[in-house]
Structure 1
Amino acid sequence: MSASGTMNLFNPAEDENVSMVHPEYFIISGLSGIPHIELYYVFLFAVYMLSVLANGAVMAVICLDRRLRTPKYVAVFNLAFVDLFGSSALVPKLLDVFLLGHRRVPFRSCLTFLFFCYTCLSMQSFNLVALAYDRLLAIIFPLHYQVRMTHRFMFSLISGFWVLVLALVATATGLLTRLSYCRSVVIHSYFCDHGQIYRLACNSHYPNYVVSCVYPVVIFWLPLAFILLSYAAIGCTLAKVASVQERLKALRTCAAHLSLVAIYFIPLLITFTLMENIHPDGRIVNLSLTSVFPPLLNPVIYTLQTQEIKDALGRLVRSVRRGKHAKIWTALH
C-alpha cells in the first residue's frame, strides 16, 4: 500500500495530543478462495430462516401458555431470545460481507458487530449454566426445589449473567478503541474477531491480550466445568438413592439439556484442541457452523424432547383451530 493510500485509510484522532490511529474500515477476508462457497452461504441463509422461525415459535408458546411460565422456562425463553438475536446479528451481516461482496466494514460498525456477536455467543453458554443449575436442584433437592428455584431467583440469575457478559464484552470492545492500527486492516475470519483485530495494532496491546486470555476461561471453561460437576453430582445422587426406573426418568428430564451442552461445547472443544492441526479456512468454517447451528437446533431439541412444550404446542394448535371453526360458524349463521 502506498504512503498516500495509507494516509487516506488511517485517520488520526482529532486531538493532536492523542497518537491513536484508527482505520476507516477493516477488510474481512475469511472464507475467500474456498470452491463453491456460494452454496455454503445459501445453506447459512436457510439455517438462519429456520432458526428465526423455530426460536420465534418457542418464545411465542412460552408467552401464550400459562403452564410454561415457570422458572425453568424463563431460562429457556432467554435462550431462545439470545439464539434469535445472535443469529440476526451474525448471519445477515455475514451474507452481506461475503455473498454481496461488502468486505470493507467501517471501524465503528466492525466493533458494534463484534460486541453483539460476542454477547450472544457468551450468553448461550451461561444459559446452559442456568438450566444445569435448575436440573441440579430438581434432582438432588426435589423437596426444596419449589422454594429455592423461584421466578425471582431465576430472573436474578439471568440478569447477573447478562451484566457479567455485557461488562466483559464492553471491556474487550472498548480496549480496541485505544489501539493504533498502522499495519494491515485485513481480518482473516468470518466476522470482526477480537483476537484478529488487536493483533493488527502497532502499539502495546497487552490489556487486550489479558482479556483474550480471561474471556475463554470465564465464558467457556468455567461454565463447562460447572455443568460437568453438576452432572457428576446428579449421577452420584441417582446411584445412591434411586432405582433403575427412577434413574432413567431423571435422565430423560436432562436429555434436552445434555443435547444442548453437547451441541454447543463439543465443536468448540475440537476446534480449541486441534487448532494448530486445522487449516485456517477449515477452522473458520467450523467456527461459523458452531455459531449458527446451536440457535437452530436448540428449539428443535427442546420441542422434541420436552413433553411440556409438545403439550403446549398441541393446545395452541387446537385453540387456533377452534378459533377458525368459530369464525366460520359465525359467518355462516
Structure 2
Amino acid sequence: MEKGNRSTVTKFFLSGLTDQPELQLPLFLLFLGIYLLTVLGNLGTIILILLSSHLKTPMYFFLSSLSFIDLCQSTVITPKMLMIFLMAKNDISYTECIIQLYFFVIFVVSECYVLAAMAYDRYVAICNPLLYSIIMSQHKCLSLVLGVYIIGIVCASVHVGCIFRVDFCKSDFIDHYFCDLISILHLSCSNVFVNESMILIFSVINTILPNLTILSSYVFIIISILRIKSTEGRAKAFSTCSSHISVVAVFYGSAAVMYLNPSSSSPMGEGKVSSVFYTIIVPMLNPMIYSLRNKDIKIALKKLIGKKLLF
C-alpha cells in the first residue's frame, strides 16, 4: 500500500486465536457452545424478567439491561470468530471492521456504567430503604439506562470518528480475532496522537467514574450492614449485593489482566486469551452468577415453567 491510500483500503485480515489447523474445529465447537450458552442465559434472563410480575423492580430492570448488553457484545464478536475457525475466512471488510469496533466500544463502555448504576441501586435499597421507591422511580431508572447508552455511543462515535482521519499503509493484517481499537491503530502510518489521546482520556474517565461510583456505594453499604445488629439481617442485606459484587469482580478483573499487563512482558497470544475472557466468557458467566445466587430468579423460573422441584 502507498501512503495516503486510506480510500483504497477495502479489507483487513484477522489473525484469529490460533494458526494451528488441528485446533480450529475443537475451538469452533468450544466457542459455539459458549455463544449458545450466552444467548440462552442472557435472552432467557430478559424474557424471565419481562414475564415475571414480581421481578418488576429497579434491580431486575438493570439486570435485564446488563443481559442485553452482554448478549449484544458477544454477538458483535463471536460469530465472526466462529467463521474464522470453521471456514478459515479471516478477512473482514473495512466497513464491517469499523462497524464491529463501533458497537464493541458502545457495549463495553455501557457495561461499565450499567454496573455502576446497579451499585447505586443497591446503595439506595440498603441505605435508604424507606425512600427506595421514590428515589429509584421508573423515570429515574429509565434516565440512568438511557444515560448509559448515550455515554457508550458518544465514546464509540469519537473513537470511530478519529479512525476516519487515519491512513493505513503499513499492513492490512490485524493481529487479533476482532477489530480492536489498539490493533487497528498499529496498522496506521499517520500521526495517531489524537487517537491515542482520546483513548487515554476516555479510558481514564470510563474507569474512574464507574469505579468511584461502585466503590463509594459499597463503602456506604458496608457501613450500613455493620450497623445491623442481627446476623440474619446482615446476611440478608449482603445477599442482595453478592451477585453484583461477583459480576463486577469478574468483569474488571478480566479487563485488568488484559490492559494492566506491561506490553513488553505480555505476548500477544496472552493478550488474546485475556481479551477472550472479558469479551466472550464474562457475558456467558453473568446470567449464571445471577441465576445461581438469586432466589427471586429461581422462584420466577419455577413459576414460569411450572415445575416446583426444578431446583
- Give the secondary-structure state (helix, strand or coil) at the position aligned to 2:12: strand
1:99-114 alignment, distance < 5 Å: 99-114=86-101
- Deviation by residue 1:193-243 (Cα, 9 ceiling, x = unmatched): 111212322222222111111232233343123212211221122223544
**Matched residues in 2 for 1:285 and 1:244: separation?**
42
Residue among 296, 299, 314 paired with 2:287: 299
**Residue 32 of structure 1 aligns with which residue?**
18
Does the Cα contact within 8 Å between 2:100 and 2:179 map onto a contact in 1?
A: yes
Structure 1 contact 11–23 (Cα < 8 Å) conserved: no
- Root-mean-square deviation (CA, aligned residues, Å) is 2.1
Give distance in 1, aligned partners of 2:111 and 2:43.
16
1:52-71 aligned within 5 A: 52-71=39-58
Judging changes above 3 Å, is the alpha-carbon distance between structure 1 residues 123 and 248 closer, same or farther for their aligned structure 2 residues? same
The SS at the match of 1:26 is strand
CA distance in 2, matches of 1:179, 1:271: 25
For the structure 1 residues 149 and 242, does the alpha-carbon distance in structure 2 shift closer, same or farther, using more than 3 Å as the test? farther
Residues 1:34 and 1:240: Cα distance change in structure 2 (over 3 Å)? farther
Rounded to whole Å, the distance in 2 between the matches of 1:34 and 1:274 is 26
Cα displacement (A) at 1:118: 1.8
Deviates more, 1:54-63 or 1:232-241: 232-241
Is the 1:179–1:203 Cα contact (8 Å) retained in structure 2? yes
Which ranges in structure 1 are unaligned for 5 or more consecutive residues? 1-5, 13-19, 321-333
Per the alignment, residue 260 of structure 1 pairs with 247
Q: Do 1:22 and 1:107's aligned partners in 2 also have CA atoms closer than 8 Å?
A: no
- The yes-or-no answer on 1:75 pairing with 2:62 is yes
Is it true that 1:48 corresponds to 2:35 in the alignment?
A: yes
1:317-328 equivalences under 5 Å are: 317-318=305-306
Question: Using the alignment, how far apart are the partners of 2:91 and 2:277 within structure 1?
Answer: 23
Amino acid at match of 2:55: L
Cα distance between partner residues in 2 of 1:242 and 1:145: 21
1:22/1:150 CA distance change after superposition, 3 Å = farther
Percent identical: 29
The answer to whether 1:284 aligns with 2:285 is: no
Query: Which of residues 80, 83, 103 in structure 2 aligns to 1:116?
Result: 103
CA distance in 2, matches of 1:195, 1:116: 15
Residues 1-333 of structure 1 aligned to structure 2 (within 5 Å): 6=1, 12=5, 20-33=6-19, 36-38=22-24, 39-276=26-263, 277-318=265-306
Structure 2 distance, partners of 1:145, 1:242, is 21
Contact 1:189–1:284 (Cα < 8 Å) also in 2: yes
Larger Rg: 1
Alpha-carbon distance, 1:111 to partner: 0.3
User: Is 1:140–1:234's contact at 8 Å kept on the other side of the alignment?
Assistant: yes
Query: How far did 1:35 drift?
Result: 7.9
Q: Could you tell me how far apart the structure 2 residues matched to 1:98 and 1:109 are?
A: 18
Give the superposition deviation at 1:188. 1.1
Partner Cα distance (2:93, 2:248) in 1: 35
Q: How many pairs align? A: 306
- Verify the 8 A CA contact 1:138 1:145 in the aligned structure 2: yes
Secondary structure of the equivalent of 1:99? Answer: helix
Query: Match for 2:291: what amino acid?
Result: T
- Indicate conservation of the 8 Å contact 2:105/2:155, yes or no: no
Change (3 A) 1:56 1:32: same
Q: How far, CA to CA, are the matches of 1:233 and 1:202 in structure 2?
A: 49
Deviation at 1:30, TM superposition (A): 4.1
Letter aligned with residue 14 of structure 2: I
CA contact (8 A) 1:275 1:283 kept: no
Match of 1:324 in 2: none
- Partner letter of residue 91 of structure 1? T
Length-normalised TM-score, structure 2: 0.91
Query: Residue deviations 1:272-329, cap 9 Å, x none?
Result: 3324322210111121122111211111111121111111111111299xxxxxxxxx
Q: In 2, are the aligned partners of 1:11 and 1:22 still within 8 Å (CA)?
A: no
